[in-house]
Structure 1
Amino acid sequence: MKTVIQRVSKASVTIHKNKVAEIEAGLLILLGIVPEDTQEDIDFLVRKIANLRIFNDENNVMNNSLLNINGEAIVVSQFTLHAATKKGNRPSYIKAAKPEIAIPLYEDFIKTLEKELNKKVQTGTFGADMKVELLNDGPVTIIIDSKNKE
């Protein structure tokens, strides 16, 4: 399971001109899933994301987590995070999990994150053509792969 986490001042997701998710200060989390992913990957990423100290404290030092600031989150499914680009110019997405595997893991990731944050997490819609807008704060962008824990 791979995530791209962006610290945002605000972010939103629009589908067919209908805004389905919108947050203020917090994290936009792009989530890519492979068939080998399990609840263990979800638990690792959720703990890491919720506690990642990437928000400024009163001294303008990145010392606070999403939990510390009571920030919001949007999770967007992003199978293209597992693109293979070694050969040719057209990325291959063969490593990405098929919907029958990915959707339950995506939903479990959201539920686990909501439990960890003790609040509702905004989402896109799995498989939809989404327009994601964000104001990256910093910019701060972090990539975390649950298969690279060390």
Structure 2
Amino acid sequence: MTAVRCHVNGEEVSLKGHPMSRLLDALRTTLRLTGTKEGCGEGECGACSVTIDGRLVNSCLVPLLHAEGTSIVTIEGIARGDELHAVQQAFIQYGGAQCGICTPGMVLAATVLLDRVPEPSLADVQHALAGNLCRCTGYMRIFEAVLAAVRRNRPAGSDS
């Protein structure tokens, strides 16, 4: 048993477990952050996506030990209080979520993209979300939601 100190959604925490246990399990059981989902357990679907030091990762593949000293953001950490993130709002508005298994990973992948590329093309969005599988919506509503979030984030009066 080991204790790993890190920041999760801006708070310093101590995650206890076997050093090689999965970060996904520590987030869901120790911290009760159940927004991060387990889809495949093999890093193929993106449902377990979180960011570690700003990089999108599949938490089902990250050993707990590798979280030491990092800053982790889960889906629970992107809203500001009761105000949803623009990507979350757009997913609701455009029907980008149905069963909810893939949604947290899709939303996090989209937020990472928008942090890096404020005006992405459809091809940029498709590439950024390529590691996330959805079996319910097809992908067009999800892509439309991300592009709508881009428009929502533009300053008033922008002619882009």
TM-score, length-normalised on structure 1?
0.25
Say which structure is richer in helix: 2
Say which structure is richer in strand: 1
Higher relative CO (CA 8 A, sep ≥ 6), structure 1 or 2? 1
TM-score, length-normalised on structure 2?
0.24
